[in-house]
A = this chain, B = another copy of it.
Amino acid sequence: MAGKSDSQLFQNKYDRERKKIDEKLSRLLKNHKPKSLYEPCEYIISNGGKRLRPLLVLFSAEAVGGKFSQAYNAAVGVELLHNFTLVHDDIMDNSDLRRGRITLHKKYNVNTAILAGDNLIGIAYNSLLKDSKTNCVQIVSSFTNAIIEVCEGQSYDTDFELKKSVTVEDYLLMINKKTAVLLERCCEIGGLIGGGSKNDVIALKKYGHNIGMAFQFQDDLLDIMGNQEKFGKPIGADLVEGKKTFLFLRALEKAKGKDKSNLTAVIKNKGVEKDQIDYFRKMYIKLGVLEEAKDEIDRYTKLALKSISSLENKSSVKLFEWLANYLIKRSY
């Protein structure tokens, strides 16, 4: 594990590179026409996100002996791609807020948001291509498969809203495609740009996949246990929307009697009232599903760390260890 001074160094490195990504993103769309298309694109990419995905590209390139300077455009590309998914997902989910700001389709309109999202895909590929001089087919394929799998994941997610019997296994397939795949591809793309060996690239991919899974489990957990201000959305939103999260699906598997019928009623009623959230939280605690989610987060985090332990660059191994812990440090 990383020591305290290492942690500070890694944090500084993350913050420094995150700032660079922000700068590159904000420069990218300046002076493009028409304004009606590029202003909404600028709005979405100035959302102050963590920039985890571009950082994964950079750190992965470095881990296999590459330089950050070889991978900045690809890093910007994956962030643009991620932002495209946010814009279109927000339309589909009819969300009002994203990171405390009004969503793109509410600020402008649905047509503008569809088109801005589409345009971000193009700009994302253009940026990626600048860093794809070698390995072009592999790099662009990896990126492309992320788009396809994210679409498939979003489709499964929508299916699950209507489907009565969703299993934990279904859920895992969905979150893999919807969340983990893109993180996996970021690591793969960084590894390919950095000129990594086949084994190194596989190790990095596994790291990305496993922290992606841990990240999604944490998201489910924070929905019910988190601090609203920190988390940026109302507590219990998943329950109110009747989302079939890991917590809900495991509770449904484990519950008996009245608990079971109340959970079944959530599916039938497509959600719960806000004043019922506390009741379900207590039920989740009683059934031990919050502990199970924590165990899953730990398990995936350990798998992530194990997968990158084979990398020769031990400084990068430490950085990735720090990053995994940084991502799941949020209190719950």
Interfacial residues, chain A to chain B (CB-CB below 8 A): 33-34, 36-37, 84, 88, 91-92, 110-112, 114-115, 117-119, 121-123, 125-126, 129, 132-133, 136-137, 140-141, 144-145, 147-148, 151-152, 154-156, 158-159
Asked whether A122 lies within 8 Å of B140 as measured between CB atoms, the reply is no
Asked whether B115 lies within 8 Å of A154 as measured between CB atoms, the reply is yes
A140 / chain B contacts, CB cutoff of 8 Å:
125, 129, 132, 136, 140
Asked whether A92 lies within 8 Å of B111 as measured between CB atoms, the reply is yes
A34-B155, A115-B88 in contact; A147/B121 too (CB < 8 A)?
yes
Q: How many copies does the complex hold?
A: 2
Residue of B36, B115, B133, B151 near A119 (CB, 8 A) is B151
Within the complex, the shortest CB–CB distance from A6 to chain B, in Å, comes to 38
A36-B155, A152-B37, A155-B34 in contact; A88/B125 too (CB < 8 A)?
no
A34 / chain B contacts, CB cutoff of 8 Å:
152, 155-156, 159
Within the complex, the shortest CB–CB distance from A4 to chain B, in Å, comes to 43
Closest to A118 in B: B151
A145 / chain B contacts, CB cutoff of 8 Å:
122, 126
Asked whether A126 lies within 8 Å of B141 as measured between CB atoms, the reply is yes
CB<8 Å pairs between A and B, sample of 26: A36-B159, A88-B114, A91-B111, A92-B111, A92-B114, A115-B158, A117-B118, A119-B148, A119-B152, A121-B147, A122-B144, A122-B145, A122-B151, A125-B140, A126-B141, A126-B144, A126-B145, A126-B148, A129-B140, A129-B141, A129-B144, A132-B137, A133-B137, A136-B136, A136-B137, A140-B140
